[in-house]
Amino acid sequence: MIQTLQAVRGMSDILPDEAEIWENFEDIVRDWLKGYGYRPIRMPIVEPEALFHRAIGEVTDIVEKEMYAFEDALNGERLALRPEGTAGCVRAAIQHSLVASGGPQRLYYQGPMFRHERPQKGRYRQFHQIGVEALGFAGPDIDAELIIMCARLWGQLGLTDLSLELNSLGSVEERADHRTALIAYLESRRDKLDEDAQRRLHSNPLRILDTKNPAMQEIVEAAPKLFDHLGEESRAHFETVQALLTDAGIAFRINHRLVRGLDYYNRTVFEWVSDQLGAQGTVCAGGRYDALVGQLGGKPMPAAGFAMGLERLIALWRESGEAEYAVERPIPDAYMVHQGEGAQRLAFRAAEALRDVGFDVLLHCGGGSFKSQMKKADASGALLALVVGEDEVAADEIGIKPLRDGGEQHRVSFQALPEAVAGAIYGIEAQQDDEPQGGNGQGAENGGV
């Protein structure tokens, strides 16, 4: 016996019922991004490993233990599957001088990301993000716009329970100032720090504040706050962001421990969190990253952005019931049944002629009796069955059988087919519109998602 192969652990297949919901979600997202002037960019999934070391930072969860990095067996290059999109997006913008030649850029991308984490609900090794990056914008206006646009998307998706957490990480100098105070504080409690914190004490103490270890909570709660080290400009920037959010009617909570997992953030950082997803509650996270472009070798330029986790967002969307409501199952206008070699050829011609004028036609493939083909036609949800047998071939005609209103089967010439199909569908739909709810509506057999 040949053993069947399974997908890699933590990497999921998205099957048709689910994938249709994803496509619907992506359609909504694309429209929403257009409304804010964002343009698509597509980067490779594989990048030089060094890109992520430089962008994300050496002492981060991603670089230390989550990255799929490997050597290209053919030429020895060190490569990595992208664990996130910002680094690649900024690399591409620098490489192609996007901002230098085109001014500030509003960009978005979507696609799979890879992190070698312990798989669990809402946490996978291949997951999907939609990322939004605004390059070349310095002011608090763009920070606020990024957050406000998220709120609009939640509204469009019908998600009502997402809450916003906000913080400011200040400037590089202000962080350095706070860092000194933080290290001194943590050193005085060294014996109470867990292994991770001990290791990060001097390399990345800010990340210790992000710890999920319950035993560490008391210590980090009482730690020196970055906020108290912010200078005039950083405070003013943060205040404007807050004022713009308040104007937009968006509620937020300032969370002094929100430091984000990646090194590159400064000033505004934010997360949108749901309490419906258990421990994996963050569905969208982002902030400002003014140093990154320079860090990757570009002419220094301010920037801000965010990334949404699609698995978590779509799970939430499904739980809310709104996804089912929005999803459109593809239902053909007509299902073509046929029997005999001549009939098959006429059926192919007829189906193509109908598609020429925009109808969706499911052509029966695989043979079988008329009876079994009609069963398939019925199950497809199509309004019409189109029937081609020997008699039809002899007359160069096609049979039209309404499937949903008990109407009579009749025959029309090949030439008259498109118009006759349009008329039959129009007639059925008009009748359905007149019926009270619960009529034999299109796709009733398909049931819910």
Region binding ligand ATP by CB under 6 A among candidate stretches 137-145, 150-158, 229-237, 303-311: 303-311
| 312 scored as a contact of ligand ATP (CB under 6 A) | yes
3-state class (DSSP) for residue 228: helix
What distances in angstroms separate CA 346 from CA 136, 343, 381, 386, 411, one per listed residue?
60, 5, 23, 11, 14
Beta-ladder partners of 70? 79
CB atoms within 10 A of CB 365: 8
Region binding ligand ATP by CB under 6 A among candidate stretches 95-103, 124-132, 239-247, 314-322: 124-132
C-alpha dihedral (167, 171, 177, 182), degrees to nearest 10: 30
| 261 scored as a contact of ligand ATP (CB under 6 A) | yes
Taking CB under 6 A as the criterion, the residue among 99, 223, 269, 307 binding ligand ATP is 307
Q: Toward ligand ATP, which CB reaches closer, 266 or 339?
A: 266
Q: Is the dihedral of CA 398, 401, 403, 404 positive or negative?
A: positive
Region binding ligand ATP by CB under 6 A among candidate stretches 165-173, 193-201, 283-291, 361-369: 283-291
Where does residue 74 fall: left (phi above 0), alpha (psi -120 to 50 degrees), or beta otherwise?
alpha
| 309 scored as a contact of ligand ATP (CB under 6 A) | yes
Region binding ligand ATP by CB under 6 A among candidate stretches 115-123, 199-207, 378-386, 390-398: 115-123
Q: Toward ligand ATP, which CB reaches closer, 122 or 399?
A: 122
Q: Toward ligand ATP, which CB reaches closer, 312 or 404?
A: 312
| 235 scored as a contact of ligand ATP (CB under 6 A) | no
Region binding ligand ATP by CB under 6 A among candidate stretches 120-128, 164-172, 233-241, 332-340: 120-128
Cβ contacts of residue 423 below 8 Å, gap of 6+?
Answer: none
Q: CA nearest 267: which of 289, 244, 252? A: 289
User: Cβ-count burial of 65 within 10 angstroms (0-12 exposed, 13-18 middle, 19+ buried)?
Assistant: exposed
Q: CA nearest 376: which of 445, 283, 290? A: 445
Residue 271 DSSP class: E
Q: CA nearest 83: which of 316, 309, 259? A: 309
Which residue has the CB atom at the shortest distance from ligand ATP? 309
| 111 scored as a contact of ligand ATP (CB under 6 A) | no
Binding mask 62-91 for ligand ATP (x = CB under 6 A): ----------------------x-------
Q: Toward ligand ATP, which CB reaches closer, 175 or 312?
A: 312
Sheet holding 253-254, edge to edge: 39-40, 105-114, 126-135, 303-309, 282-288, 266-273, 163-168, 253-254
| 110 scored as a contact of ligand ATP (CB under 6 A) | no
| 282 scored as a contact of ligand ATP (CB under 6 A) | yes
| 129 scored as a contact of ligand ATP (CB under 6 A) | yes
Give the residues lining the site for ligand ATP (CB under 6 A).
Answer: 84, 115, 117, 122-124, 127, 129, 261, 280, 282-285, 307, 309, 311-312
